[in-house]
Structure 1
Amino acid sequence: MKGDLSFFSIWKILDFSCVEECSQCCIEREYYPTIQFGKIGVLVMPEEKEKMVSLAEKNDIEVTILPRIGVSETKSEPKTILAYQMMGKDMDGNTCPFLDTKSSKRSPHGGYVCKIYENRPLACRAYPVIQSLPLGLDPKCKFCQSCGTPSGNVNSELESLILIQKKMDTKAPYIWRYATGTGESQDKDLIKTGWFLI
């Protein structure tokens, strides 16, 4: 993908904003790329990992950060990790540990408050823009479902996604994905754990 933001200018519908009282993107996690890989966590770049751990300690929160994408020069397990993932705090892999679901505090749109909003990972800054072909918006986002395609207000999100893509660019011959072992209880026999060559 090129760093060209102009394709958003062809959309002429609405500016993006969170739907009232929605925190869905911070709660629901999905199986990706298949159920065998388990539910994914929030993408965390290597340089963000220690920051997330430090912010968790500061907020007295437990976080689990697993590898997500690794690379290697041979078919042995990866020697370099390109990206990590911060897992949800629930047994089924859902709910970001930094989402304040216990207090009565609410965000400006009425959803739950993110305890680290100003320091959130690039992946959170990119949402609802997602890497797809062609580049698009997450169809599970409530704004996209109920309001349509935004015409503006997503340039910073797109810039964050472009930065993630640049950081994950690799010439390594072997790319690996980590299976998290996390998901719904009824799927436990299907879900794997560990590195898999993709």
Structure 2
Amino acid sequence: MFECKRCGKCCENPGEIAIFEWEKEIIEKEAEKENNGNAVVVPGIIAKIGNSKIIVQWKIRNKGKCLFFDEISRRCKIYENRPLVCRAYPLSCSGINLKEVREIIGEECKYAKIPFNIGEKITKKELIERLKLEYGEIFLWAFRLDVARIFIMDLLKFYEEEIKKLDTNEEKGLLEFLTSKKLYDKELIEYEISKIYNLKI
């Protein structure tokens, strides 16, 4: 079974880290505590709908090592609040959204392995079972990460026509836009997000 060796490779030069809108505020508060301006949260994926620019995903832009990586302890300073993408690492996909096998595992982690042979024919169900066995809790976070991506994209598709009708010429995060225009209730969003974080398989 996979076990993190705390080599720090994934944190020493992570580049841009994709985060969700609900993670943005937490990251910004934590970055403020660090007070060295090493991490900047900027729009990542933007959907242009009519005249509106809807931010679907954000990213942490790091200069060098991740702001939250403690080089002495080799641990994350915000472990309990780390983004979903970090919780799921080294998996970049749980298998439910899989297009290509090489999408499953982050290339930077030399300790991660694909739990089947290249060329071996396995069903999606078998793939998921093997990933669960090899990665345990990490696989569960990768599954939740996939579900969160699907949730955001489904929300965008569902409200696309409403956003077009409003034709506001704004640049906002999807959730902020929907709640500010009273298209979606903030408490309902929080409930949906909490369901994602508590998903079991």
Secondary structure of the residue aligned to 1:52 is helix
Among 159, 162, 168, the alignment partner of 2:146 is 162
Instruction: Quickly say closer, same or farther: Cα 1:123–1:67, change in 2 above 3 A.
Output: same
CA radius of gyration, larger in: 2
Secondary structure of the residue aligned to 2:111 is helix
C-alpha separation in 2, matches of 1:73 and 1:61: 36
The reply on whether 1:87 has 2:49 as its aligned counterpart is no
Among 4, 14, 18, the alignment partner of 2:4 is 18
TM-score w.r.t. the length of structure 1 is 0.58
Q: Which amino acid aligns with 1:22?
A: C
Tell me how far 1:24 sits from its aligned partner: 0.9
What's the C-alpha RMSD, in Å, of the aligned pairs?
A: 2.4
Among 81, 84, 89, the alignment partner of 1:119 is 81
Q: Report % sequence identity.
A: 28
Instruction: Quickly say closer, same or farther: Cα 1:159–1:61, change in 2 above 3 A.
Output: farther
C-alpha separation in 2, matches of 1:86 and 1:158: 19
The reply on whether 1:27 has 2:12 as its aligned counterpart is yes
**Does structure 2 conserve the Cα–Cα contact (< 8 Å) formed by 1:61 and 1:98?**
no
Q: Which moved more, 1:159-168 or 1:122-131?
A: 159-168
Secondary structure of the residue aligned to 1:168 is helix
C-alpha separation in 1, matches of 2:20 and 2:70: 23
The reply on whether 1:139 has 2:107 as its aligned counterpart is yes
Q: Which amino acid aligns with 1:133?
A: K
Tell me how far 1:148 sits from its aligned partner: 5.3
Structure number having the greater helix percentage:
2
Structure 2 residue runs of 5 or longer lacking an equivalent are 116-130, 162-201
**Does structure 1 conserve the Cα–Cα contact (< 8 Å) formed by 2:16 and 2:59?**
yes
Name segments (4+ residues, structure 1) moved above 4 Å: none
* 1:7 matched residue in structure 2: none
**Does structure 1 conserve the Cα–Cα contact (< 8 Å) formed by 2:85 and 2:142?**
no
**Does structure 1 conserve the Cα–Cα contact (< 8 Å) formed by 2:91 and 2:139?**
no
C-alpha separation in 2, matches of 1:167 and 1:67: 18
Deviations 1:76-108 (A, max 9, x none): 6x6210111101133xxxx1111123xx3x2xx
Structure 1 residue runs of 5 or longer lacking an equivalent are 1-14, 30-39, 107-111, 174-198
